[in-house]
Structure 1
Amino acid sequence: MKKYKLGYTSGVFDLFHIGHLNILKKAKEQCEHLIVAVSTDELVQSYKNKTPVIPFAERLEIVQAISFVDEVTAQTTRDKIAAMEKFQFDVMFVGSDWKGSPLFTETERILKANDVDVVYFPYTSNTSSTLLTQTLNKIVQTH
């Protein structure tokens, strides 16, 4: 039996890479049912001031196709407390790059007060969508 019943994670999942796959795989190893929220293009534009390379519908389809994922939903807000209230998950999986950040500290406190665990997975520093985008931009500029 797995440690948690219902797990939740979210992300942009742009230019899907091994770091994304590892988070989903490790999350599913710990929960019976894994919900993954994929950020809409509008949400990403609102806080990153850029549009994802891969359109939302395609990113959603990619994440849905992964065997570790039980349920996929659109993430239209970064409000994790609202997500907790909507989905009633008992654990949220997050990349370690969020640990201790001002944005996340209060969220983590509220989740824990509601008996929701937060599990951090190591950030994949050698591969990220940002690095992949930078590399692609360099290739395009040289051609």
Structure 2
Amino acid sequence: MTTVYTCGTFDMFHVGHLNMLKAAKGLGDKLIVGVSTDEVVEEYKPGSLVVPYEQRLQIVSSIKYVDVCVAQTDRNKYKAWERLRYDVLVVGDDWFGKPDFNEYQEKLDRQGVKVVYLPYTPSVSSSMIRNVLEKRGRGKLL
């Protein structure tokens, strides 16, 4: 059985998130999804969350491609592997070549974990949705 792991914030869930989960599920038998806790997101994007963790977890858990949903309590993909022992890690292609991610990839490579970089769905992201809502509302969204 091939276990796939991916993770994210999944704030303002949209079709790009759905496309990524569907593609990730297609790479194995079991898909585990880590949903970033509010505390983790606040560390690198302070004040950006719209939907609280518990609701984001409930939304992602309800998607048919997702077999197991877990809390992502830090951004360290190797620590996630130590806990979950997945075979495939799926991340967005924006992670490719980032120095901090290269360290995780080297460790995962030594464990035989395949890292798959997926392209983002063009023309949709939580940031784009946030920008549209802010323009229409003429103010900052949270």
Of 11-20 and 99-108, more deviation after overlay is shown by 99-108
Alignment counterpart, residue 41 of structure 1, candidates 38, 48, 59: 38
Cα distance, 1:88 vs structure 2? 0.4
Q: TM-score, normalization: structure 1?
A: 0.93
Number of paired residues? 139
The equivalent residue for 2:72 is 75
Does the Cα contact within 8 Å between 1:9 and 1:37 map onto a contact in 2?
Answer: yes
Q: Alignment partner of 2:138: what SS?
A: helix
Secondary structure of the 2:2 match is strand
RMSD: 1.2
Q: Tell me how far apart the structure 1 counterparts of residues 18 and 120 of structure 2 sit (CA, whole Å).
A: 12
Segment drifting more, 76-85 vs 100-109: 100-109
Q: Equivalent residue for 1:117?
A: 114
Q: Distance in 2 between matches of 1:50 and 1:44?
A: 9
> Is structure 2 residue 4 aligned with structure 1 residue 28?
no
Give the TM-score of the pair, scaled to structure 2.
Answer: 0.94
- Which residue of 127, 131, 140 maps to 2:137? 140
Q: Structure 1: give runs of 5+ residues left out of the alignment.
A: none
Query: Where in structure 2 are there 5+ consecutive unaligned residues?
Result: none
Counterpart pick for 2:103 among 103, 106, 111: 106
Give distance in 2, aligned partners of 1:77 and 1:125: 27
Q: Percent identity?
A: 46
CA distance in 1, matches of 2:90, 2:23: 9
Q: Write out the 4+ residue segments of structure 1 that deviate beyond 6 Å after TM superposition.
A: none
SS in 2 for 1:37: strand
Letter in 1 for 2:56: R
Name the amino acid aligned to 1:127.
Answer: V
